[in-house]
Amino acid sequence: MEIEIIAKAFKELGHPTRLSIFKRLVKAGEQGIAVGAVQEELKIPGSTLSHHISSLASADLIKQRREGRTLYCVVEYEKLLSVIAFLQDECCADEQ
Amino acid sequence: MEIEIIAKAFKELGHPTRLSIFKRLVKAGEQGIAVGAVQEELKIPGSTLSHHISSLASADLIKQRREGRTLYCVVEYEKLLSVIAFLQDECCADEQ
DNA sequence: TCTATAGTTCCAGATTTATCGAATTATAAA
DNA sequence: TTTATAATTCGATAAATCTGGAACTATAGA
């Protein structure tokens, strides 16, 4: 069960564009970054970007917060930390 | 460039069956585990398993070593560690 | 209310994945 | 050399993913 949740997170991170977006969101920190700003920086067509963003959100890797007409994307740090924890706990056994 | 390599690793880990296989390989440690043993434990049809194994290998997450008729699958710990490092360095910024 | 801005959803085609039985390759043992 | 075991590759289908223009929704300001 949990493995499916983690796999889902990996799956959504497993696309170069989405991983770039995610990385940019992490850089943005707690206050997040507007969708439009990501679009300008990474030069991604609006609809494509929107799809990728909803993919990341579907894995609970990010959330969105509206401020007027602007939607800010913010990393879900708990999720990120749980993914890291999985790799360390479940995967990095004792050896090495 | 590096982001594509990491994304590839995430992509291959991003499938429940493959993640289960990978997890099992980590449990097996340095000496690895035979393909047939994985097949029995996880109840995966041979050809399907073989495809998943080659997917993991294509991301350099695992390697295979032959001993007679038996092929042992072994985790590439360096790759695993580099994935963890990516999440921590590139992604876990300073906040939190 | 009309207009502009910020994003999302609709739609549809192209491409990639996932699955698994059957056939095949590789190795070992009789 | 014949047979058995271990695993991969072939082949074919079904399903999911990716992409981006066009249409739409939500919000704000004039």
Domains annotated for chain B, with CATH where assigned, are 2-83 (1.10.10.10)
Distance in angstroms (rounded) separating the CA atoms of residues B66 and B34: 9
The length of chain A in residues reads: 96
Question: Per the structure block, which two tokens stand in for B93?
Answer: 């910024």
What is the model's pLDDT at position A93? Answer: 59
Residue with tokens 């696309």: A15
Beta carbon of B25 within 7 Å of strand D?
A: no
A62 lies within 8 A of chain B by CB: no
Rounded to the nearest angstrom, the minimum Cα separation between A38 and chain B is: 16
pTM of the model: 0.94
pLDDT in tens, chain A (96 residues): 799 999 999 999 999 999 999 999 999 999 999 999 999 999 999 999 999 999 999 999 999 999 999 999 999 999 999 999 999 987 675 544
What is the model's pLDDT at position B1? Answer: 76
Distance in angstroms (rounded) separating the CA atoms of residues A74 and A24: 10
Closest CA to B10 of B68, B77, B66, B79: B79
What is the model's pLDDT at position A96? Answer: 42
Q: What are phi and psi for residue B71, nearest 5 degrees?
A: -105, 125
Beta carbon of B39 within 7 Å of strand D?
A: yes
**Are B29 and A93 contacting, i.e. CB atoms less than 8 angstroms apart?**
yes
Report, as an integer, the average pLDDT of B29-43. 98
What is the model's pLDDT at position A22? Answer: 98
| DSSP 8-state class, residue B91 | I
Report, as an integer, the average pLDDT of B18-46. 98
Which one of B80, B88, B96 has the shortest CB-CB distance to A91? B80
Residue B21 predicted with pLDDT over 90: yes
Distance in angstroms (rounded) separating the CA atoms of residues B75 and B81: 11
What is the model's pLDDT at position B96? Answer: 42
CA–CA distance from A25 to each of A11, B26, B29, B60 (Å)? 18, 31, 35, 27
Query: What's the pLDDT tens digit per position in B42-56?
Result: 999 999 999 999 999
Residues 6 or more apart in contact with residue B51 via CB below 8 angstroms:
none
Round to the nearest angstrom and report the end-to-end CA distance of chain A: 28
Q: Which residues pair with A89 in a beta bridge?
A: none
Closest CA to B9 of B89, B72, B78, B90: B78
Closest CA to A59 of A2, A6, A17: A6
- Which positions on strand C lie below 7 Å from a protein C-beta? 4-10, 17-23, 26-29
Round to the nearest angstrom and report the end-to-end CA distance of chain B: 28
Measured between beta carbons, the chain A residues lying within 8 angstroms of B19 are: 3, 6-7, 10
What part of A 65-94 touches B (C-beta under 8 Å)? Answer: 77, 80-81, 83-84, 87-88, 90-94
